[in-house]
Amino acid sequence: MRTTVFLSFLLFAHAAIGAPVAAPVPANVRIPTVTRLVQMFIQLETDLSDAVTKQDMAAITKLLSDDFEMRIGSMPGNPIPRAEWIKQSIAEPKPSTFIEQMAVHDYDKLAVVSYLLKGKNGKSKKGKVDAAQGLFIVDVWTREPEDWKLAVRYTGSEGKNDFYISGAPMNAPAFEKKE
């Protein structure tokens, strides 16, 4: 039963975010459980990405709160307001991306959604495809009477933990993704 539900989700996720469907997993490998909330927020994040790609202002407006802002790790004191974020997002080229490692923390009228957004950043000067880059994103969604709206996005680049973060071990082992 779990395998059937998981494979159904993989097919759904493939259609929703364009990720390749993984090969069948051997029986002795633990399959992570994808919660109902993760499925729902993958869809909301995908809907927002699609709306930006299509420059669909009605859909973007429906998904963003009126006071939406984005904060970037490299310049945390300089929030990017909603109008500027929309303008810049629509203007820049859209790399092909997919979501990994999503977690959702539900606090009734608030959901904190974190994930890794992976993709290709285009072509280098020599015409070769650059290595996949990743962004760690934390989105704060608020529950409105009729739906969810994105209120705040925090983002920073994925990378090595080569600096001190209080509470995080410097030598924590990386979990390798099995494919």
Per the CB < 8 A criterion, the answer to whether 81 and 72 are in contact is no
Pick the CATH number of 35-157 from 3.10.450.50, 3.10.129.10, 1.10.10.10, 3.30.1130.10: 3.10.450.50
Please give the mean pLDDT across all residues of the chain.
76
- Residues 62/48, Cβ–Cβ less than 8 Å: no
- Average pLDDT rounded to a whole number, residues 52-78: 92
Category of 162 on φ-ψ map: left (φ > 0), alpha (ψ -120 to 50) or beta:
alpha
Question: What pLDDT score was predicted for residue 96?
Answer: 80
Helix pair 36-54, 82-91: axis angle to 10 deg: 70
Domain boundaries, the chain: 1-34, 35-157
The pTM (predicted TM-score) of the whole model is 0.69
Beta partners for 81? 69
More confident call, 96 vs 21: 96
> 30: helix, coil or strand?
coil
* 56-82: average pLDDT: 93
